[in-house]
Structure 1
Amino acid sequence: MKKNLYISFLCCIISSCLFSQQNEIKIKANLNVAEDILQIQQEIVYYNNSDTELNSIFLHNWANSFKGRETPLSKRFIEDFRKDLYFSKEEDLGYSKIKNISINFNNSIYKELENQQDILEVYLENPLEPQKSVHINITYIVKIPNAKFTGYGKNNNGYHLRYWYITPAIYKDGWQIMSNLNLDDLFENTTNFNIEIKTPNYLTLESSLQQHKSKKENLTVYNLYGKNKKDVILSFQKTPTFKKFSTNSHAIYTDVIEEELDCNLTEDVLGREIQFLNSFLGKFSIDKIFIDKATQSKNPVYGLTQLPDFINPYSDIFKYDLKMFKAISKRYLKQTLLINERKEYWLLDGLQNYLMLEYVNKFYPDIKLLGKVSDNWFLKRYNISKLKFNEKYPLIYQFTARKFLDQSLITPADSLSNFNRKIVSKYKAGLGFNYLKGYLGDDILDKSILNFYQGNKYKITCATDFQEMLSKNTNKDIDWFFESYLGTNKKIDYTIDNVKEEKDSLKVTIKNKRNITAPIAFYGLKNKEIKLKKWFTDIDSTKTVRVAKGEFDQLVLNYENIYPEYNTLDNWYNTDKNLFNKPFKFTLIKDVKAPNYNQLFYQPNVAYNFYDGLILGMKFHNKPLIKRNLEFRISPAYALKSQMLNGSFSILYNQFFEETSIYKISYGIAGSTFQYAPNLSYSSLNPFVDIQFKRKSLRDATSEFIRAKVVHIDKEVSPLEVKTEQDNYNIFSLSYNYINPDIIKELRYNFSTEFSKDFSKAAIDFRYRKLTSTDTQLDFRVFAGAFLHNNSQGNYFSFGLDRANDYLFQLNYYGRSEASGIFSQQFIITEGGFKSVLPTRFANQYMLSLNSSIGLWRWVEFYNDVAFLKNRNEHLFFGYENGIRLNFIHNIFEIYFPMYSNNGWEITQGAYPQKIRLTFTGNLNRIYNFFRRGFF
């Protein structure tokens, strides 16, 4: 028996050596700090471990991704509304310049891939047969980029390098090639490294490999080596920042330091983390664990490390423990599991976040989401203060899912929105493992994780291997998890639809409200204690179950938040007979959902306009932090200056669509009453329907929508005036809007029509903004509007050249009736878009206006406008103007200084300060949308 075991073991060793031979990389490099370059001679021994004959070999050359604005990395930054690489200085760029490539010591032909400058294809003179190897020799230099782009490169303390060397792509069902997109997800094989680097004596080198050094005159020679390694990180430092911490089994090198913790306590914390990971994954096989701050900061514990120092709701040890546990577990998994994270990131992220969940459950089960401030006398009344730290995972998922902005977990990482890639998809993947744990049982999932990890570490693996391992350890159906939970963004949403009393039991009907059938957990509670817990797996529409009568206070679905759910507000049923199934709860400002309450919120509301003065009021609404489909708001207020009661209200219902090109349809009605002139108020009532279309992808920032509304306006008039039809009117408005807020080429256009008893009109507003190759801004706008018919009197409904009349009351004018003073100088670019006040200000037939500006220096621009206005019984009027525009924040804060127009030289005329126009807005939604670009 022992002989047979020995023979089997020997065969496995021989088979491993024959059929999965290890690549080797040898590098000799010299760091030239004067020119910020690495001079490299590299040898790659590449083994064809596939069963396919290869005619060429692809190499990842990510150091070349910083060479200019046409690389995939630069284009990716533009999508993220980052232009620092696109407009960077020459000295900040980085590149890889190939001097020579040879195969088996013969010069070879190679090329950069088109539009993928960081990938090389090297052609083989003779095909490489399976299980054979070739020697690839490369001589090249790497210009080190500024670290401001990705965190890797030249910094104030030296150089921090990652993805700095050329490495072979993996051949697995074809070549797995990928460009650098700042995702830190290079798919590379484990390799045996032998590296020699010469550096100036004043630099200290720390790396993710084992190393020793020797001195030679003004140089230090570092020899780095390691087997079964990947992703070699180098840190050259003028002032050493890395420290070594020793645990019972491992040495951890890191520059992530918590100064408040002494060395012994830090080592105890790190040792506990390693021990915990060993219990889930088996003994660590990595001898040196290297955690660098640059990498750690790109994968933080969200909600923990983003808070400023003066807000410190968590203990120093808790913050450091979670920060390092996440960094160590992520680094270890990435080093040992060879998974194509670009395609199957969910497996690594899910496993890592599941480990985070389990770690917090074990060592910090009572830590609240808000930390110590949860006990604050004010905050402890809020439901959010009662949430445990781990409840942030379903909370953040639901925040996104309720807006239908989540994406399936099989979406490639480079197609995810930044919010999903950095947070939501990771959380959903981790919750997926937690879901499996609850459904299958702790032992089955944890055993499967251990078996999968130990059976696949240092091997190229994929999600199918994990699925097969899980299937071996359970008889339960798990196809729903891989097909629906991972493969779609369908939302789990079940409710207790009906409860009927019978003699000795309750007949409970559970309803599936959406289009996914998945296991759900059903609970019976008595005095907030779980008395019944049962899983149901086959509810595709409805299912009726019976429970004993009188044994439970509440019946609940998903009570422990085991799985992420679209809506948990309707998961509760109180068995006590009350007028309302759930009592009402009034909360100041906002809170997270309270499933066992009907929530209403109230909050102070402050506004301002010139006629009402400071407006103080209270807003009552039903909108928690997570969106609801049906929303209402009522805001009564008192104006201090006018001493009038005023306010607004709105009712809105959002209907989302999953299978069509429509994203959502919003139905609503809104109304308001405020002052529009001294001692004169207006009332508006606006029923509306908005149709918003889906974006091509969630990385696409464009928006496209149609808006239809009826505007009813009733205005007070002075007792000395007679009320006319322009003081009480109804207008039907229909508009189409397209917005592409690209940071280099922004395009917006709007087509609108209006119909009323006395007039009808149509208009188009086209806007284009471009940054040239020298970072000069060019801004163009065309407005064209014409009346289809016009029986109105005066210019109240006419097109405005320098200031729209805003008879729809939709523009945020602070002094809409002012003809002088600072509020008359407020400028909102609409209709004519002129800044100067010309003799002809309105058009009651048609108007064509062209507005343009060109950047001079930073936010200083020169603007130039021309316009054609036609009024009844008058000649065509031609208007023109130019001046200086200070464009501090586009369409949010701008200042215009007129220079020359139809009026002559404006700057030489009297009262020039009154001619200056200003754009300023207190619209928080506009400001928020400006700064969130590229994230959602």
Structure 2
Amino acid sequence: MGARFYLFPILLLYSSLAFTQQNEIHIKAILNSENNQLLIEQEIVFYNNSKDTLSQIVLHNWPNSFKNRETPLSKRFINDFRKDLYFAKEEDLGATTIKNVSIDYDNVVHQEYENKPDILQVFLTKPLKPLESTTLKISYLVKLPSAKFTSYGVHKNGYRLRYWYITPAIYNDGWHLMSNLNLDDLFEDYTTFKIDLKIPKVFSLSSNLKQTIQSDTTHHHYQLLGKNEKDIILNIERKNTFKQFNADHHQIQTNILDAEFNTALVTDILNKELKFLTQYLGEISVNKIFIDKAMQEKNPVYGLNQLPDFLSPFPHVFKYDLELFKVLSRRYLKQTFFVNQREDYWLLDGLQNYLMIEYVNKFYPEIKLIGKVADTWFLRNFNISKLQFNQKYPFVYQFTARKFLDQSLNTSADALSNFNRKIVSKYKAGLGLYYLKGYLGKTVLNESIKEFYQKNKGLVVKSENFQNTLAKHTHKDVQWFFNDFIKTNKKIDYTIKKVTETKDSLKVTLKNKRNITAPIAFYGLQNDSITYKKWFASIKDTLTISIPKGRFDQLALNYENVYPEYNTLDNYYRTDKKLLKKPLKLSLIKDVKAPKYNQLFYQPTLAYNYYDGFILGVKLHNKPLIKRNLEFKTSPGYATKSNKLNGSFSVVYNQFFEKTSLYKISYGIIGTTLQYAPDLSYSALIPYVDIQFKRASLRDATTEFIRAKTVLIHKEISPLSVKSEQDSYRVFSLSYDYINPDIISEIRFNVKTEVAKNFSKISTDFRYRKLTSSDTQVDFRVFAGAFIHNDSKGDYFSYGLDRANDYLFELNYYGRSEDSGLFSQQYIINEGGFKSVLPTRFANQYMLSFNSSIGLWRWIEYYNDVAFLKNKTKPIFFGYENGIRFNFVHNIFEIYLPLYSNNGWEVSQKAYAEKIRFTFTGNVNRIYNFFRRGFL
């Protein structure tokens, strides 16, 4: 019995070791640089460390994600408005050609997952029981893709290779499968690697493994070794751009270099960074850290590197240090932390961004958000110039949250919008840990992080593991953080509801305005200095506290921006007896909010139309950089040509919805006065309601909304004219719009009805734009409109074939009343959509129009239009035309050259130049929305 007693723990230890056996990958590869191919013989020793018996092994074959336009990677790019892989040339594509898969020298059946060619199933001939292993041998050829798709692949100096080999998926209560979506997040087990690589002698190799080299007359032979490794990165270059630094007893190999910094200075910077990581994470367990330029480019420090060096407002050392620290800390965490970054990304992102915040706090507390330009004469009075660099985190979060475009931190990484994935969710995760630091105390959080990291490095970790570690170090409840803060996009929003004075104290009532109960920080301020601070938790509705009277001139919530909050404008209360609790502050252009002030912004404006000339004015508004619910603006201006005072105003209230299919309802009113003809002005007053529906997901760019409005128009008339129904009228309009701006197949649909005193009508406008398999653009549009009743006189309210009358003044015509000259040639696709002026231009009963165009070469297209027009007491008119379209920037800058129509050969007729039409918009919002596609 005694022998069995001692034998049991030995067997238990042996069983535990066997249970955690590490996979092995042996690779023999030859680079064929003429064909950009890797010929690979690979052996995978796979250990079944699970409790289940396996009948198959699933492999990630990410080199095959570049094979064609049907892969998940290509579809992801299309969703991001990138078509470079979809229309790539054959030589730029990449693929895996598997020649043979065998186990114990017997070929085995293997197949790609349906619609996922970068995931491979290998069917075992014999079940693989728990704690057993099997050896797969795979012979395959990898055609390397161009680096322009993901930054990894073939480039002009050689090859940057990442995810270039086949690797087993992780099995843990099922296979963890993921396709390559350019997220650099492959969930790959720690593995023992032995790689023999043969490359032409003109190249040299840099990698994250230990390497030795032998050479012959034509080739270098590299042997690479590594244990407890994953994500093997190779840089094969004609000109070696990498340099090795020995810092804090570690090897850092990188090509993130700066000509102004010598080896000693870079080493000093790396020493500082590594010691900082050691302070927060504990002992660094890897000897070599490999970081390349592609990692830096894919993980930029936003706000820091968006300008070229000669325009950068930041000190050069700060810029380089922070860029290097971000990629170094991220690479180190990914190299040593075993997290499923697609499912539990917030944990790694939170740690890395918390480290970034603390790093700046420690070494660069004086750096402003906008750098040294904050002290210039023009900007120093702006509130944004007073923000510290780290205040970008709550600012960017609030910018998104106010539009209800943020997503919960447990949202799968591949379901995040690009803006959230690249910036907002990372910032919120980092702020979350900074929030915990403030609430629990610096020592509690930092000790928890260090213990969590040291005990779990090299192991599979989840959020629950961090929660358990944190709970050991504090008696305070942190369930709110791991539930509401992480698992929902509920927004923290507290306010000082009221303050009641007693003889010697102030009774302060704090109110929770939303549906999350989280700790808040309350401050008493005297001359902008903190003299009182206390945290309060569990405020579900209201809490009344008592503080001494006469010690504070201001009370505040979240004064230090410790936690991300939905609205901080109502976080302040002045205890003095001033008439205005918040004094008025005028600011030029736009600025970030100043919570202690009521802000009004002003900015010069410049507009143009043919009758007013240039309109010089000023816009007064209340819209800071972060969106508000209630917004107003007024824009008076002086017209240099008409010598008139005109302008516009608007007031809108945006009501957002969280738990319904509605995104928001906007209630507003717009007023405008401008010239519509020489010395004649019009006034428009438009009360409206917009109902916008939520997208299926934030990665879906589809927009769907309903608009109801009443348009009241009053027009000046010439003294020689008699006032008619066309000069003062009211029209009620109800419309529905659906827009799917897909880069391959774009669909736009509108249906609208209008009701006025003398007419009512209904119309629909359907537009479809398609890029064919040869990258040829095809545009197709159908417009159908009919009057339900029409007692109006003339054609003022009729459907226009080549130019809409625009009696609602919706279209941005520069010379809306012109029938000759340059401005009469302005073209805005509407109603009939024709470019040529035909004998019948209007329809007072119904119109059916078909517009189409097809690409000929690059931005040159051929257009063809037909239409049927019906007027009272007249037969149906059939119109047709064709011509050449120069589609430089779609719907922003286009030129149309008519060729043939009902008029005959247009090019042979008199004054052909006057028949050319053009589309041009100076609408900044439209241009911005066009170029920002795929990011927000």
TM-score normalized by structure 1?
Answer: 0.99
Shift of 1:7: 12
CA-to-aligned-CA distance 1:144-196 (integer Å, 9 cap, x gap)? 00000000000000010000000000111210010000000000011111101
Distance in 2 separating the partners of 1:11 and 1:161: 43
1:771-808 deviation digits (Å, cap 9, x = unpaired)? 11111111100000000000100000000000000000
1:680 corresponds in structure 2 to: 680
Q: In structure 1, what residue type is equivalent to 2:917?
A: R
SS in 2 for 1:380: coil
Q: Deviations over 1:539-565 (max 9, x none)?
A: 111111111110111110001111000
Q: Pick which of 242-251 and 839-848 moved more.
A: 242-251
Paired amino acid for 1:516: I
Instruction: Out of 305-314 and 323-332, give the one that drifted further.
Output: 305-314
Q: Which amino acid aligns with 1:649?
A: F
The residue that corresponds to 2:638 in the other structure is 638
User: Which amino acid is 1:642 matched to?
Assistant: S
**Alignment partner, residue 488 of structure 2:** 488
2:665 aligned partner, one-letter code: I
Query: Which residue of 2 is the match for residue 43 of structure 1?
Result: 43
> Secondary structure of 1:864's match?
strand
From the superposition, tell whether residues 448 and 460 of structure 1 become closer, same or farther in structure 2 (CA, over 3 Å).
same
User: In structure 2, how many angstroms separate the alpha carbons of the residues matched to 1:833 and 1:615?
Assistant: 30
Alignment CA distance shift 1:298-1:50 (3 Å)? same
Paired residue type of 1:828: I
Q: What amino acid is aligned across from residue 916 of structure 1 in structure 2?
A: I
Q: Which residue of 1 aligns with 2:437?
A: 437
Q: Which residue of 2 aligns with 1:75?
A: 75
> Partners in 2 of 1:795 and 1:7 — Cα distance?
102
Q: Letter of the aligned partner of 2:744 in structure 1?
A: I
> Aligned with 1:765: secondary structure?
strand
| Equivalent AA in structure 1 for residue 44 of structure 2 | I
Deviations 1:234-287 (A, max 9, x none): 001011100111113111110111111111111000011000001111111111
Most deviating of 369-378 and 788-797 = 369-378
Q: Which residue of 2 aligns with 1:219?
A: 219
Q: CA deviation at 1:217?
A: 2.0
- Contact 2:248 2:274 (8 Å CA) reproduced: no
Structure 2: tracts of 5 or more residues without a match: 1-5
Query: Which moved further from structure 2: 906-915 or 254-263?
Result: 254-263
- The 1:634/1:12 distance shift into structure 2, 3 A limit, reads farther
- Once the two structures are TM-superposed, the CA of residue 18 in structure 1 deviates from its matched residue by 2.1
For each residue in 1:95-148, what CA deviation from the matched residue of structure 2 results, as whole angstroms up to 9, or x when unmatched? 001001112332111110001000001111111111111101100000000000
Residue number in structure 2 paired with 1:154 = 154
Alignment of 1:525-924 (within 5 A): 525-924=525-924
1:396-421 CA-partner distances (Å, limit 9, x unpaired): 00000001100000110000000000
Amino acid at match of 2:454: Q
2:512 is equivalent to residue 505 of structure 1: no
Does the aligned pair in 2 maintain the 1:510–1:543 contact within 8 Å?
yes
Question: In the aligned structure 2, how far is the partner of 1:66 from the partner of 1:17?
Answer: 39
Give the 3 Å change call, closer, same or farther, for CA 7–651 of structure 1 in structure 2: farther
Deviation at 1:755, TM superposition (A): 0.5
For 2:326, give the aligned amino acid. K
Whole-Å separation in 2 of the counterparts to 1:422 and 1:39: 35
Equivalent pair of 2:800/2:831 in contact (CA under 8 Å): yes
**Separation in 2 of the partners of 1:179 and 1:929?**
30
Q: 1:48-63 maps to which residues of 2 (within 5 A)?
A: 48-63=48-63
Cα displacement (A) at 1:17: 2.3
Residue 412 (str. 1) matches residue 412 (str. 2): yes
**Aligned-pair CA distance for 1:525:** 1.0
Match of 1:3 in 2: none
Q: How far off its partner does 1:11 sit?
A: 9.1
Task: Give me the whole-angstrom Cα distance separating, in 2, the residues matched to 1:205 and 1:320.
Answer: 25
Contact 1:613 1:640 in 2 (8 A): yes
Q: Does 1:317 align with 2:320?
A: no
Aligned mates of 2:258, 2:733 — CA distance in 1: 60
The answer (yes or no) to whether the contact 2:868–2:876 under 8 Å persists in 1 is yes
SS for the counterpart of 2:453 is helix
Take 1:914 and 1:310, find their aligned partners in 2: how far apart are those partners?
47
Matched letter for residue 631 of structure 2: E
Q: What is the CA-CA distance between 1:508 and the residue it aligns to?
A: 0.7
State the distance in 1 between where 2:491 and 2:792 align: 52
For residues 99-248 of structure 1, the aligned pairs below 5 Å read 99-248=99-248
Question: What secondary structure is seen at the aligned counterpart in 1 of 2:397?
Answer: helix
Whole-angstrom distance in 2 between the partners of 1:385 and 1:52: 59
Q: Distance in 2 between matches of 1:273 and 1:913?
A: 66
Residues 11 and 124 of structure 1, relative CA distance in 2, 3 Å threshold = closer
What is the one-letter code of the residue matched to 1:210?
Answer: K
Q: Is the 8 A contact 1:798 1:843 kept in 2?
A: yes
**Cα 1:472–1:598, aligned 2, differ >3 Å: closer, same or farther?**
same
Partner Cα distance (1:907, 1:795) in 2: 29
Aligned to 2:369: 369
- Provide the residue aligned with 1:521 in structure 2: 521
* Unmatched runs of 5 consecutive residues or more in structure 1: 1-5
Is the CA contact 1:799–1:832 (under 8 Å) kept in the aligned structure 2? yes
| CA–CA distance in structure 2, aligned partners of residues 66 and 699 of structure 1 | 22
Distance 1:8 1:264 in 2: 56
1:475 pairs with 2:475? yes
Give CA-to-partner distance per residue, 1:414-462, whole Å, 9 cap, x none.
0000000000000000000001111111111111111111111111111
Deviation at 1:10, TM superposition (A): 8.7
Cα separation, partners in 2 of 1:644 and 1:572, compared to 1, 3 Å? same
What one-letter code is carried by the residue in structure 1 that aligns with 2:446? Answer: D
Distance 1:9 1:919, change over 3 A: farther
**Is the contact between residue 258 and residue 316 of structure 1 (CA under 8 Å) also seen in structure 2?**
no
Amino acid at match of 1:309: D
Aligned equivalents of 1:297, 1:12: Cα separation in 2: 48
Answer yes or no: is the 8 Å Cα contact 1:669–1:686 preserved in 2: yes
In structure 2, the residue corresponding to 1:424 is in which secondary structure?
helix
RMSD: 1.2
1:530 and 1:312 mapped to 2: Cα distance?
Answer: 33
Cα distance in structure 2, aligned partners of 1:889 and 1:620? 32
The answer to whether the Cα contact below 8 Å between 2:248 and 2:275 also exists between their aligned partners in 1 is: no
Equivalent runs, 1:452-467 vs 2, <5 Å: 452-467=452-467
- Is contact 1:105–1:135 with CA below 8 Å preserved after alignment? no
Cα shift at 1:310: 2.7
Q: Please give the secondary structure, in 1, of the residue aligned with 2:300.
A: coil
- CA drift at 1:468: 1.3
Which stretch of structure 1 is more off in the superposition, 423-432 or 451-460?
451-460
> How far apart are the structure 1 equivalents of 2:376 and 2:212?
53
**Distance in 1, Cα, partners of 2:235 & 2:680:** 69
AA matched with 2:715: K
State the match for 2:94 in structure 1: 94
Task: Return the offset for 1:659.
Answer: 0.4
Rounded Cα–Cα distance in structure 1 between residues aligned with 2:375 and 2:266: 28
Structure 2 residue aligned with 1:334: 334
8 Å contact from structure 1 (residues 760, 788) kept in 2: yes
TM score, norm. by length of structure 2: 0.99
1:251 is matched with 251
- Give the Cα–Cα distance (whole angstroms) in 2 for the partners of residues 620 and 12 of structure 1: 76
What amino acid is the match of 1:112? E
